Amino acid sequence: MRAKVHSSIEEIAAREWNALAGTDCPFLRHEFLAALEHTGCVGADTGWEPCPITLSDEHGLAAAAPAYLKLHSYGEFVFDFAWAQAYARHGRRYYPKLVIAVPFTPATGPRLLVRGGLDPAAVAQRLLEALESHAASRRLSSVHALFLDEPARAACEQAGWLLRRDCQFHWANRGYGSFDAYLETFTAEKRKKARRERRRVAEAGIRFETRFGGELDERLLDSVYAFHRETFLRHGNEPYLTREFFSEIGRTMGDTLMVKVAMQQATHRSASPRSPVAAAIFFWSPQALYGRYWGAAADHHSLHFETCYHQGIEFCIERGIGRFEPGTQGEHKVSRGFEPTLTWSAHHIADGAFREAIGEYLEREGDAIDDYAAEVRDHVPYRKTPV
């Protein structure tokens, strides 16, 4: 197989890329990665320089990895700032580094994409060798594969990469017939709280509309993006994604993009009959719903929980979607039915001394993550004996 490093996803035919196993995940679609480039979300001037790596054989594209040359560690959600500082203290260069990930997207999924009909484990090892070879040729400090699904995690472990785990909170669909049937699995206290949250939003005159990519006109996208941007600005940052990005994926990815729009009902006759006051942005496939961004124009009691969590769970139940990943952080998700779930990354560290030190650190960190997940699991809202 021939390995090649590209300077853009556009150098690879969309049809061939999307034919690889794993690209049913929305973030790994050629359209999603191309939109990041087209709209300036990634590029050399952002510190995310695209360099997708492929393997080809006589039949065409055999395997690929979404790779980026990184000049910093922002937008990854797997934090290695302390590693960079350790390199600097020893007069060594940590950046640039190579990252195998979807930019700004802390969602678990495939990272080593292999064409159907090939031996996935064997080809994944060839792909990892190509990544290591490219890093060595550029004298890069390291290669980092983030938010790995199980096959990618196993391949990286077999290749001798260091494994790192963290904890997110995911929701699992256990075949619930309705949202009320789901709440019946809660303890009485937690069930009462969830219903009270939903009731408060409804009593405020807020109703929800589900809009898919093709149903999002530019005016509504302006409002949705403004809500989303305001959330970032409150934390002192501009959003990672541009306004143009959402217009493009609305055109190219269609129903894969889904927005829950909270509409405020008019309180007097002269007012507009309804207007958007909040929105949550999701991506989805038949296997998983991914919550990404949210924002609101006003502070309504429980609106965040309803828009970002309850509405997403209800969508999963209605469509039989197996899991819901609402993003990073947030122990407040636990009382709403999300459970601690380990996420994985893998790290190839070129320098032997640093590799040993980082490996020892990851062992200690991993033990702490396991203890934390076990402790949080004691606080899930479900009855001890399911009904």
Q: What is the DSSP string of 20-62?
A: EETTTSGGGSHHHHHHHHHTTSSBGGGTEEE--EEEEETTEEE
CA distance 359 to 313: 38
Average pLDDT over residues 27-31: 98
Listed residue (282, 277, 278) closest to 319, CA to CA: 282
CA distance 278 to 208: 9
Q: CB-based contacts of 107: which residues, under 8 Å, 6+ apart?
A: 25, 27, 147, 290, 325
State the pLDDT at residue 274.
Answer: 76
Residue pair 189/180 in contact (Cβ under 8 Å)? The answer is no
State the pLDDT at residue 298.
Answer: 84
**Helices 120-137 and 150-158: angle between axes, nearest 10 degrees:** 60
- At 262, give phi and psi (nearest 5°): -85, 120
Average pLDDT over residues 284-299: 94
Encode pLDDT of 363-377 as tens digits: 999 999 999 999 999
State the pLDDT confidence band at 143, using cuts at 50, 70 and 90: very high
pLDDT at residue 68 above 60? yes
State the pLDDT at residue 386.
Answer: 54
State the pLDDT at residue 271.
Answer: 47
State the pLDDT at residue 299.
Answer: 86
Average pLDDT over residues 43-62: 97
CA atoms within 13 A on the CB side of 180: 0
Residue pair 115/316 in contact (Cβ under 8 Å)? The answer is no
Residue pair 295/230 in contact (Cβ under 8 Å)? The answer is yes
Percentage with pLDDT > 90 across the chain: 92
CA atoms within 13 A on the CB side of 71: 9
State the pLDDT confidence band at 113, using cuts at 50, 70 and 90: very high
The 10 Å Cβ neighbour count of residue 113 is: 29
Listed residue (117, 133, 19, 21) closest to 67, CA to CA: 133
Q: How far is CA 301 from CA 194, 197, 298, 313, 374, in A?
A: 13, 8, 10, 19, 31
Encode pLDDT of 148-203 as tens digits: 999 999 999 999 999 999 999 999 999 999 999 999 999 999 999 999 999 999 99
Rg (CA), the chain: 22
How is residue 137 written in tokens? 């040729």
Percentage with pLDDT > 70 across the chain: 97
Encode pLDDT of 235-288 as tens digits: 888 999 999 999 999 999 999 999 999 999 765 554 455 799 999 999 999 999
CA distance 36 to 202: 36
pLDDT at residue 357 above 70? yes
* Chain mean pLDDT for the chain: 95
pLDDT at residue 345 above 80? yes
What domains can you pick out in the chain, each with its CATH number?
2-168+341-377 (3.40.630.30), 174-321 (3.40.630.30)
Q: Exposure of 225 by Cβ count < 10 A (0-12 exposed, 13-18 middle, 19+ buried)?
A: buried
pLDDT at residue 328 above 90? no
CA distance 146 to 348: 12
Q: Is the dihedral of CA 206, 210, 212, 216 positive or negative?
A: negative
pLDDT at residue 9 above 70? yes
State the pLDDT at residue 270.
Answer: 44
CA distance 157 to 269: 64
Residue pair 310/198 in contact (Cβ under 8 Å)? The answer is yes
Tally: H helices and E strands in the chain: 12, 16
State the pLDDT at residue 331.
Answer: 86
CA distance 354 to 350: 8
